[in-house]
Structure 1
């Protein structure tokens, strides 16, 4: 049997969300797809940075634009694979009858103001048709499954839910993680801080984070800074203006995109991780924070409760005062903080890339 895998999103240099998912899934599929002939399709300028079994072959495909719909379609037409696995929601026009696609979320439907008109039209076309064309649709959360069924009419028996995995760094020790953090100086912040990691965009509610931070500073006089780590996204200009008019603008630190190593360091140093997003298909940053022994404040929307479990303090994303109060509880109440960190450490154990890949492999080989 010949199996094709779309690896075009997995091997970009600065991976975020879906790209990281694609990378980890493909990496962890290797031991489960070790008998069939596997073709890993990547762009001509991408490099696969891990070893592949002998039965796997890399196919570098060149095309300037519309790589998936034109170049990958052509390759499948000529190569005649029996099955295709698409980890990043875009099924090509030409595809085998047995195609498995992963749908990560319908953010553009629920947060339309965070996307341009053309982006919304394109995403709706791509994902709706992917759900229609695929023989099996994998959703990364029960919430995404419900959204796909409700908005696009995808049959329930066609959908499987497979949670994302997590395989981050281990902390120095659980006791060290709960009772203390790395020095603030090592993280180049110079003061205790509240942390957000993710794309700096409207959908992530970054302006709401700034509002909550101002409330904490104004009401309780804490010495903390707010650190925002991530590359700019849609609506960044308005977010930047909001920072500039803040009374506490000198306490807001923008780090831009951070590497995995840098992210691990700033997570370990943080006092609280704040993630009051408006919508997520999954919510991997929550697990990253919990794995680093950092208590989490997040929003009770979309897939977040599935991922964070009982190991976070929740708030309505529009309720900046409750977000602020939750932050202060974790800053000021050592017992509450330690309890939330312990819960987080246990919660992360529910998610494994190996388990995720095993379940996907079984579907691909069906």
Structure 2
């Protein structure tokens, strides 16, 4: 119905646009505006355009549900509100200087309406696919399954088969939320009738070629339609199913398009995928008369058994034509096989409780190999390995960009040069050569060929590095990129000869990969917050952070504290920064006996519970000097074991050893273990009386959570991210106060019940940083980057 022309709110908006909009300005508004403003686009097509297509967006508060949610949220975030009244709110792409801010109360009511509509991502729709979902009195099931169907990016119709008024209302809300059409059948007539209604709805659309039917109580693999597309055929394989029904016999097992499939003469009805001609041939499923019984439940009105009719009983079924139903096990899983609370009771599924699938299957990820190719471990190398492990769990295709050279002419020399310790000089001649290379269209990485096995690699290179050694390599690419950035602030563009969806820099790198979304991990701002504690070029570091924030679709940080540092000191969108934390890489020594623990520590000259432990590089920010000061005045015969490589200014940190501890008279002993294997570190954590980690600043602080995971109580600093990471499972000190460090050590040494409480709390806290939890958070970041 058109707006009344005398309505003051309508005329206010009309007059405003007549004054401020160009004659052909693109305006998103109700269709009534088209009469006066030919550049008007109706809400119905809002999903087709980005927000910046429009000069003005006119929200009618009673029609908010008709505006694409993603566009609406983008407008609110990026445009300026220029007019608002009880009915309309107008946003302008460009601020109008002479216009004052509209009344907040009128804008706020719009924002509240949008708050209930999440900005779900758009993807290209598969134009020839459609989905039918049937439901009856199970909005809880629909709430779980419908978001998964939505992510398949195909049109959906939900058939509500006579749910109660309350459940039907909830189903309608879910359908609205996930852009699905809902058809409500007033009286429950059973699945045959519901399937008839849903499939016929799509058969009326000639553009739909393949129709997938699902019950509401299923989880699906995100790539289900990709798999089906490889297997389906309108003549040879017109009917497929994604869930194995163990009560339906297997006639044969074969392989099609690289997938192992089961050939059957009948299948359960949780999922059936068929060509439109097949659906047309077997429909309608008979519902002959209201009193017709169904053998297994005796409910009137059910008619023929729907799954048997579609697969085998219909004269036009694939089985009656001499073929088989093709089953691809594992595409679909029933999460409520007993169907409690429903009248359907389809029990053909296997009882498995799973979370909705989180997958990056088919996503090609390239991770920087700058730290991975180092022979010695670093914190960022540990992070990168955990990242790739999580991506593997998510099903992504992971490659690494290495920067090692080789030989194009000789396979043995190629391997020798690749595994040689390589270095380069950053001088003006090299920079000039690199600049010419970087702008060349031929500056591209190449996938390395498998090695001959000539070079002895054992003991020098880790299995993690060797696993990815046949990934992509571009000689000296990191030296080139860093050199050009330092001298000219240039970002290097690299071409990869295969499709890359995401380029993940595990720390700020001035490199782009052509055609790929970029994710950058920013661990901390320590070079800027504590400039006296690191050797970094502070100016280069600052600009690398700034440009990474501009250049990346998503920024990952390893703590909320690091995120807040970025927001405080850089102008950036907080919604693009995602906190994933960091997973614990070391697995605990579960089930080890006290005798085995003692044997494992004997190699270091240590006994269980007879030493305090510090783990970390020996450099100013780790605060080893103050730890030594506190330990020197402590009344204890426990040793202090320092595990870590010597970093910048290590002499100043460890120089106190000579005069603090007289080796002839002092019972205290400080043991320095510079190079420890992963296995050795596990024993050290497990056997320590406590970890003492008084760091001045951390991005995440991995040693405390590693210690907690091994049942080792933690004393750590009350600064930066450490209280966020350790929660109530640690004893906190002021890292600048030697006296406080000493007092907390004395407290833990004298209070055994406190120590036991910290052990229990620490093990519980460590679960927060499991690989699974990290993987879930990482999945969220990647989905955001890809959308």
Q: Are the structure 2 counterparts of residues 345 and 2 from structure 1 closer, same or farther at C-alpha, using a change threshold of 3 Å? A: closer
Q: Check conservation: 1:311, 1:343, Cα contact below 8 A.
A: yes
Distance 1:300 1:58 in 2: 42
| Structure 2 residue aligned with 1:59 | 472
- Structure 1 unaligned segments of length 5 or more: list them: none
| Structure 2 residue aligned with 1:168 | 586
Higher relative CO (Cα under 8 Å, sequence separation at least 6) belongs to: 1
Q: Are the structure 2 counterparts of residues 239 and 134 from structure 1 closer, same or farther at C-alpha, using a change threshold of 3 Å? A: same
Q: Quote how far apart the aligned CAs of 1:193 are.
A: 1.4
Q: Quote how far apart the aligned CAs of 1:322 are.
A: 1.5
Q: Quote how far apart the aligned CAs of 1:73 are.
A: 4.0
Structure 2 matches for 1:244-323, cutoff 5 A?
Answer: 244-247=658-661, 251-323=669-741
Q: Are the structure 2 counterparts of residues 86 and 332 from structure 1 closer, same or farther at C-alpha, using a change threshold of 3 Å? A: same
1:125-144 CA-partner distances (Å, limit 9, x unpaired): 32222122111111111100
Distance 1:248 1:273 in 2: 24
- The 4+ residue runs of structure 1 with deviation greater than 6 A are none
Distance 1:6 1:359 in 2: 20
Do structure 1's residue 189 and structure 2's residue 606 form an aligned pair? yes
2:394 to 32, 51, 54: 32
Do structure 1's residue 328 and structure 2's residue 762 form an aligned pair? no
Q: Are the structure 2 counterparts of residues 207 and 70 from structure 1 closer, same or farther at C-alpha, using a change threshold of 3 Å? A: closer
Structure 2 matches for 1:174-213, cutoff 5 A?
Answer: 182=598, 185-189=602-606, 192-213=610-631
Q: Are the structure 2 counterparts of residues 29 and 131 from structure 1 closer, same or farther at C-alpha, using a change threshold of 3 Å? A: same
Distance 2:481 2:776 in 1: 25
Q: Quote how far apart the aligned CAs of 1:2 are.
A: 4.7
Do structure 1's residue 138 and structure 2's residue 556 form an aligned pair? yes
1:300-343 CA-partner distances (Å, limit 9, x unpaired): 11110111111110011011111111112222221111111111
Structure 2 matches for 1:76-87, cutoff 5 A?
Answer: 76=495, 81-87=500-506
- Structure 2 unaligned segments of length 5 or more: list them: 1-362, 405-417, 420-460, 485-490
Q: Are the structure 2 counterparts of residues 338 and 242 from structure 1 closer, same or farther at C-alpha, using a change threshold of 3 Å? A: same
Do structure 1's residue 231 and structure 2's residue 645 form an aligned pair? yes
Distance 1:51 1:316 in 2: 39
Greater mean deviation of Cα atoms: 332-341 or 142-151: 332-341
Q: Quote how far apart the aligned CAs of 1:4 are.
A: 2.6
Greater mean deviation of Cα atoms: 79-88 or 56-65: 56-65
1:38-64 CA-partner distances (Å, limit 9, x unpaired): 5431233477835999xx971123227
Distance 2:780 2:495 in 1: 22
The structure number with the bigger radius of gyration is 2
1:203-240 CA-partner distances (Å, limit 9, x unpaired): 00010110110121xxx3x1112111100112212113
Q: Quote how far apart the aligned CAs of 1:155 are.
A: 1.7
| Structure 1 residue aligned with 2:177 | none
Distance 1:169 1:31 in 2: 17
- Alignment partner of 2:606: what SS? coil
Distance 2:552 2:718 in 1: 31
Q: Check conservation: 1:84, 1:96, Cα contact below 8 A.
A: no
Distance 1:51 1:238 in 2: 34
Distance 2:773 2:590 in 1: 25
Q: Are the structure 2 counterparts of residues 57 and 358 from structure 1 closer, same or farther at C-alpha, using a change threshold of 3 Å? A: farther
Structure 2 matches for 1:70-149, cutoff 5 A?
Answer: 73-76=492-495, 81-92=500-511, 96=515, 98-116=517-535, 119-149=537-567
Q: Are the structure 2 counterparts of residues 136 and 96 from structure 1 closer, same or farther at C-alpha, using a change threshold of 3 Å? A: farther
Q: Check conservation: 2:588, 2:682, Cα contact below 8 A.
A: no
Q: Check conservation: 1:91, 1:134, Cα contact below 8 A.
A: no
- Count of paired positions: 355
Q: Quote how far apart the aligned CAs of 1:3 are.
A: 3.6
| Structure 2 residue aligned with 1:6 | 368
Distance 1:171 1:213 in 2: 28
Q: Check conservation: 1:201, 1:236, Cα contact below 8 A.
A: yes
Q: Check conservation: 1:272, 1:331, Cα contact below 8 A.
A: no
Do structure 1's residue 43 and structure 2's residue 403 form an aligned pair? yes
Greater mean deviation of Cα atoms: 184-193 or 328-337: 184-193
Distance 1:30 1:52 in 2: 16
Q: Report the RMSD for the aligned CA atoms in angstroms.
A: 3.1
- Alignment partner of 2:715: what SS? strand
| Structure 1 residue aligned with 2:180 | none
1:23 to 376, 385, 390: 385
Task: Give the TM-score taking structure 1 as reference length.
Answer: 0.86
Task: Give the TM-score taking structure 2 as reference length.
Answer: 0.42
Q: Are the structure 2 counterparts of residues 96 and 9 from structure 1 closer, same or farther at C-alpha, using a change threshold of 3 Å? A: farther
